[in-house]
Amino acid sequence: SYSVETVSYFLEEYGDDPALYFILGQDAFQEIEKWKDWEKLLLLCNFVVMTRPGYEVKSLGELLPHDFASQFKYDKDTDGFKGPAGHSIFFREVTFLDISSTDIRERVRGGKSIRYIVPEPVCDYISEHLLYRDI
């Protein structure tokens, strides 16, 4: 399904308390205008964009069309851009590790360990639910 549909489903099922956070990488966020109903999606929940060291966003207008980005105002208390519906877009720096979701899926499919690539509960969940395996 599309991300906007998945987020809408979770909000319908569980509401907005606790708050829903959509976490994605910088590269994916830079392509978000290609996503289905991306404007609606960005207004539905909080977004956390994981960035590479040294990456700084001074204005959302650098990344999104100005008319849309202008709806968001920088909030120094949260270090995020707060939107009209009360949700924010946060940019958070993470240490770069050369790991991708594709690599994780391929390792699982190939029977290789992912124990030191993902947190233990994630590894256990993938194993218990037989995710990413060709059955």
User: pLDDT digit string (tens) for 46-103?
Assistant: 999 999 888 888 889 999 999 999 999 999 999 999 999 999 999 998 876 777 888 8
State whether CATH 3.40.50.620 applies to domain 3-93.
yes
Whole-number average pLDDT of the chain:
91
Q: For residue 90, which of 4, 23, 18, 3 has the smallest C-alpha distance?
A: 23
Strands, sheet with 21-25, edge to edge from the N-terminal-most edge strand: 21-25, 46-51, 88-93, 80-82, 73-75
**Residues carrying CATH 3.40.50.620, the chain:** 3-93
Q: Do the strands 80-82 and 46-51 form a parallel or antiparallel pair, or are they unpaired?
A: unpaired
Exposed/middle/buried for residue 72 (C-beta within 10 Å: 0-12, 13-18, 19+): buried
